[in-house]
Structure 1
């Protein structure tokens, strides 16, 4: 029996046992042990690759970007997704494809509030996301991130390798668990933040995280990096500047693209019920925000909306450039870049922002996407968890990544390739150490 649809015919596919066998057969094509090797291109120049990415960014912000990347090896890793993509383009891969994050490191996971008001932990950055890319692209960058973070935390190389191995093992075990579930149940898997807190062994960390979760919503406005609102001389609410990362554009800079027009155009891409909600607010102010490490220099603005009763809503309008994975031949996206980010987030994240939507600036032809600004209160939890208990945090991220990948690939095929032994974990950990040693030895 089969069902005709607009996209083709849905027929009965192979069962779990057959799909596991298919994944296991891939080991003969690309042995798991082969994933341990790191062979960079002979002409690899990391700084030259980074410089190429900076050509079409806001030049006045490049100094800030470089200073951010120079803070630590992990900060450099965060800002150099293009270097990792160049490295991965030459590595063997089994060909198990999924929607990937594309910039999968420890700081691109985090806590956020779902549209229903639930606090969840998930992958939380999709600027480099791309569909139909080998899952090892994410896993190799993820494992390398764990090694670099551990070394930055003064762990030994042996300890750093063990942490990466444990994180990949957590990923593998979660994939095997998801593979046994019905597709709908696996799709609806979430990571509630309260469940994360309940498993914390460190009492001080447990109390600190619980306090952050329980803090009143109004305290977001008092957090260090979340925009503050203050009335101007005319009584209109404005975003307070916090240099060098949050400021208002001058007239010349503002003319480069029309944010007000972008937001107006976004209404056409929002579902009618969400557009109806946004119409209950008025646009009060727009400010530029330099975000993260890798994104510094791309156009990103914060739009402040106010309700008739002066309640704020912050929306982020961020430029969407071509994924670094596509630049180095790891995948392709034929459509608009804003749509790429939006569709990738909706595919990987368990609960996406209702304001998430693509947009295009007709004048500059730049592509953007819109989403609700993440609260700093929850953003701080990522740093808190990582700094106090790196090993458990890395394993949490590994399980979360498994859930995200399982939404767009067959978990049983992936489970068949990885297997029940620790060969896959060992290989990815060895790659991460070898790749980090290459970076430490110089450009």
Structure 2
């Protein structure tokens, strides 16, 4: 067999260059510990130096639908953990006040444990991945790790896990992030890109599921996620009226455009939506444009979503194809500026919907095939236009019941979240430098564990501050919604 010596020489040079870059970047990461010692990550802002948490929440409220803000506060007051879910701006402000690295990756920006879940890949495989990217932005990798670790601590507190066991769970979570990043730093770029947590493979192997209860729970949640598809969404959110399929009226959570006092002509709004959807198609790949181009909007409704997102403009649009039973629901969700921008500066994208979509495509291993973005005329409020991102409402999407997890279950789940976050950061950041910085020792693990405990205490204080604000009448909360 003839070997092309010129090609071999080029290939060897490229391989040596790659090896040199890996060594060089790893050494740079290791040396960066002199700039930001690993132990420094335990620090949290002094209470007296922090911004008023209720002030920050009220600043966000000015950009939201006023009638829905009390629902947001009511949901945040369910527990300190649900407060934390809505307090991304507060934490971003706090992280901006402590020492940080310049080892950047694409950040989720809100990587708490409830923002991980189950999703369908394009091959119709169920995978475990990150969920929410409203706050995504490039930034210091450790900010996502801190957001995750503190959420594990708070979830453990909510579940009555002992102090000692919580610390063990958080430390194991951070250790798994560190060791996963180090493993990815030794792997090829394409292997990192293709890496995923395939739920069926985990269930078949039993990897990490040490008890029958854990395997049974994981199987039940996988089956439940598969059941949360477009057909189930149509059953839940639509009904037949005068021989036509329409979105249900379930105020204040779901309000069709025909029931909104701000909408004088629902049919005109539908025509506007269909016109806007045509240009949204340009953000999809050609084959997906071909599929979605066969549908048109026949109804729309405003829908309250999440905890932190309550009050933003979020819509569901009933899309119909060639026949009445050929339908699905499209979610159209407002994209505001990332809370991280208050510290790290503005995003480079012109539209926040584009920022969210591009961040999600970078970090997620299996994104929604209809994920795209569009700036559209406002329907509610006085804005001239609103940035949105669009996706299917449900397509094998599921979440695990964190409030029901045993200490063992929370530990398994937290490690899965850590692996997934490390994979996302390895895809989008300098995995060699980050791995070199983290190193072999457990110094980073212990520092972040200490941070999580201290920050959970700050979060508890902020939670009580919101309680007091409601009691005094400073803000209004609507509970049970």
Q: Residues 217 and 241 of structure 1: is their aligned pair in 2 closer, same or farther, counting only changes over 3 Å?
A: farther
2:234 and 2:66 map into 1 onto residues whose CA distance is 23
CA contact (8 A) 1:103 1:138 kept: yes
CA contact (8 A) 2:256 2:299 kept: no
Q: Residues 194 and 384 of structure 1: is their aligned pair in 2 closer, same or farther, counting only changes over 3 Å?
A: farther
Aligned to 1:370: 390
State the shift of 1:119 in Å.
0.8
State the shift of 1:384 in Å.
7.8
1:50-89 Cα shifts (integer Å, max 9, x gaps)? 1111111001111111110000111000001000000000
Aligned to 2:10: none
Aligned equivalent of 1:339, options 354, 358, 364: 354
Aligned to 2:39: 33
Aligned to 1:22: 28
State the shift of 1:331 in Å.
6.2
Aligned equivalent of 1:391, options 411, 416, 425: 411
Aligned equivalent of 1:51, options 58, 63, 81: 58
State the shift of 1:441 in Å.
4.1
Q: TM-score, normalised by structure 2?
A: 0.83
CA contact (8 A) 1:112 1:374 kept: no
Q: Aligned ranges for residues 244-263 of structure 1 at < 5 Å?
A: 244-249=252-257, 250-254=259-263, 258-263=272-277
Q: Residues 384 and 122 of structure 1: is their aligned pair in 2 closer, same or farther, counting only changes over 3 Å?
A: farther
Q: Residues 382 and 43 of structure 1: is their aligned pair in 2 closer, same or farther, counting only changes over 3 Å?
A: closer
* Equivalent residue pairs, number: 431
1:264 and 1:383 map into 2 onto residues whose CA distance is 39
Q: Bigger shift: 118-127 or 384-393? A: 384-393
Q: Residues 177 and 36 of structure 1: is their aligned pair in 2 closer, same or farther, counting only changes over 3 Å?
A: same
Aligned equivalent of 2:212, options 170, 181, 203: 203
| 2:127 aligned with 1:120 | yes
Aligned to 2:313: 299
1:332 and 1:218 map into 2 onto residues whose CA distance is 37
CA contact (8 A) 2:349 2:355 kept: no
Aligned equivalent of 1:275, options 269, 285, 289: 289
Aligned to 2:67: 60
1:387 and 1:301 map into 2 onto residues whose CA distance is 36
State the shift of 1:209 in Å.
3.1
Aligned to 1:227: 236
1:213-262 Cα shifts (integer Å, max 9, x gaps)? 346966647869983332211x2212223443222133443479854443
| 2:185 aligned with 1:179 | yes
Q: Residues 382 and 274 of structure 1: is their aligned pair in 2 closer, same or farther, counting only changes over 3 Å?
A: farther
| 2:448 aligned with 1:428 | yes
State the shift of 1:342 in Å.
0.6
1:150-174 Cα shifts (integer Å, max 9, x gaps)? 1111112332222211111111111
For the pair shown, the structure with the greater C-alpha radius of gyration is: 2
1:154 and 1:216 map into 2 onto residues whose CA distance is 27
What's the RMSD between the two structures over aligned residues? 2.6
SS of residue matched to 1:112: strand
1:395 and 1:298 map into 2 onto residues whose CA distance is 31
1:371 and 1:316 map into 2 onto residues whose CA distance is 5
1:383 and 1:423 map into 2 onto residues whose CA distance is 28
2:458 and 2:363 map into 1 onto residues whose CA distance is 31
SS of residue matched to 1:286: strand
SS of residue matched to 1:406: helix
Aligned to 1:7: none
State the shift of 1:322 in Å.
0.4
Q: Aligned ranges for residues 352-367 of structure 1 at < 5 Å?
A: 352-362=367-377, 364-367=384-387
1:216 and 1:424 map into 2 onto residues whose CA distance is 35
2:345 and 2:171 map into 1 onto residues whose CA distance is 24
Q: Residues 360 and 407 of structure 1: is their aligned pair in 2 closer, same or farther, counting only changes over 3 Å?
A: same
SS of residue matched to 1:230: strand
CA contact (8 A) 2:281 2:372 kept: no
Aligned to 1:286: 300
Aligned to 1:6: none
Q: TM-score, normalised by structure 1?
A: 0.90
Aligned to 1:319: 334
